[in-house]
Amino acid sequence: MSAVPPDASTPSGTVTFKDGATVLGTAGLSGGVATLTTGDLAVGVHAIAAEYSGDSDFNTSTGNLTQEVRSYEQRCGLAVTAYDFNASGPVRVDIAVLGTLDCLQVERVAGDHPQATGGIATGQYWRITGTAGLGGTASGFSVTLTLPATFVPDGNDKLCRYTGAAQVWDCAASGFG
């Protein structure tokens, strides 16, 4: 008696990729793998489905995943001046003191910040990351940020920053010194 290995064939056919009900495209299998490259996803979270057509040896199948698309812009080799980051906003960064700051990355994130409470949950936030040369921690710099606003601010509004220290928010009426 000897064992008979299963058929070692490779799946063939096509895979259709969808974002919800929207078809992103169809790709043929090559070596059992289908690849689709697209630039059609907007910033945000997407429910992607891959639907395999099946062939004479393999049944149809569907796989799902969640894909987050982010929008950010990075500038390096900074100087004491103003920069507009338009991929995220627009966000304006005025650098008053450079210190060891070499690069800034501005990213608009859809959804509430993971540490936001109901009083400061807005459905979006901006992640501003500054680094020194070679990716180290920047220090000794001073910047002023102008973020886009879709509301008319009043005396009750506050600017909040999350420093990661003790898992708390630091809020001020107009800015931080």
Q: Mapped to the 3 state alphabet, what secondary structure does 103-141 carry? A: EEEEEEEECCCCCCCCCCCCCEEEEEEEECHHHCECCCC
What DSSP state is assigned to residue 31? T
| Residue range 42-86, pLDDT digits in tens | 878 899 999 999 999 899 999 999 988 877 888 999 999 998 887
| Strand duo 22-28 + 14-19: pairing | antiparallel
Which are the contacts of 146, defined by CB distance < 8 A and separation ≥ 6? 91, 92, 93, 94
CB 160 within 8 A of CB 112: no
CB 14 within 8 A of CB 53: yes
Q: Note if the pTM is more than 0.75.
A: no
CA-based Rg of the chain, rounded to a whole angstrom?
A: 24
Measured CA to CA, the distance from residue 98 to residue 96 in angstroms comes to: 7
Give the chain's residues under pLDDT 50: 4
pLDDT value of position 107 = 83
pLDDT value of position 47 = 94
pLDDT value of position 130 = 86
pLDDT value of position 95 = 93
What three-state secondary structure class fits 174?
A: coil
